[in-house]
């Protein structure tokens, strides 16, 4: 049986890095994550200043002013945690990283929809990471990303989302799932998913 290889297959467009280059990329990830966490210290200071600019009980009156920024910060925190442990960061953990509350009753907090929007942005970024991992010769990471994204998709399916911006963002998740599935398919028909070794890409 000869499995078809699409003309626009990932493997017709990329050239894997050498083993030395792969190791250099892998070893630089922890340092990059540590550097990112240092930047969150600055974010905490700025958010502490923001808290003093309005009454605590008027959070949603001014929410639109910082909503997008918080969603982006959630994504960045989630991405760092994923690179460190390949797990999904909790809302409470993100709130701690940003130095704000998870409970709305306690003042300036991380709104649940802002958290979910940031997580969906993470999914889009991981679909790109899956492609880039193959380019770097890390054939096992896309398989782990695929498992993670499918579990994330299953979790979102349990939510009763309203027909709003969050729902539209969630609708885009299926394209991320499809993109990663295509990467895994290409690995499978090339037999490269069997070549994944514990030394490539920081496996747990």
- Binding site listing for Mg(2+): 125
**Contact 109/69 with Cβ under 8 angstroms?**
no
Contact 31, 152 (CB under 8 A): no
- Token reading at 71: 């969603």
93/103 Cα distance (integer angstroms): 12
User: How far is the CA of 149 from the CAs of 2, 14, 70, 133, 153, in angstroms?
Assistant: 29, 23, 22, 15, 6
Binding residues: 125
The answer to whether 142 touches 184, Cβ cutoff 8 Å, is yes
Q: Residue 109 corresponds to which tokens in the numbers above?
A: 């907090």
């Amino acid at each position: 049986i000869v499995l078809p290889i699409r003309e626009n297959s990932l493997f017709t467009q990329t050239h894997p890095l050498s083993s030395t280059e792969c190791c250099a990329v892998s070893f630089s990830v922890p340092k990059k994550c540590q550097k990112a966490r240092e930047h969150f210290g600055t974010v905490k200071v700025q958010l502490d200043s923001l808290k003093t600019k309005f009454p605590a009980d008027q959070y949603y009156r001014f929410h639109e002013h910082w909503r997008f920024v918080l969603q982006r910060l959630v994504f960045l925190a989630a991405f760092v945690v994923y690179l460190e442990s390949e797990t999904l960061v909790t809302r409470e953990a993100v709130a701690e990283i940003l130095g704000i509350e998870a409970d709305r009753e306690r003042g300036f907090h991380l709104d649940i929809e802002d958290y979910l929007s940031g997580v969906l942005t993470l999914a889009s970024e991981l679909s790109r990471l899956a492609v880039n991992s193959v380019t770097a010769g890390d054939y096992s990471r896309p398989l782990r990303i695929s498992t993670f994204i499918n579990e994330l998709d299953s979790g979102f399916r349990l939510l009763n989302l309203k027909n709003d911006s969050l729902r539209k963002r969630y609708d885009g998740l299926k394209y991320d799932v499809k993109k990663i599935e295509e990467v895994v398919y290409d690995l499978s028909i090339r037999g490269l998913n069997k070549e994944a070794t514990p030394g490539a890409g920081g496996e747990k």
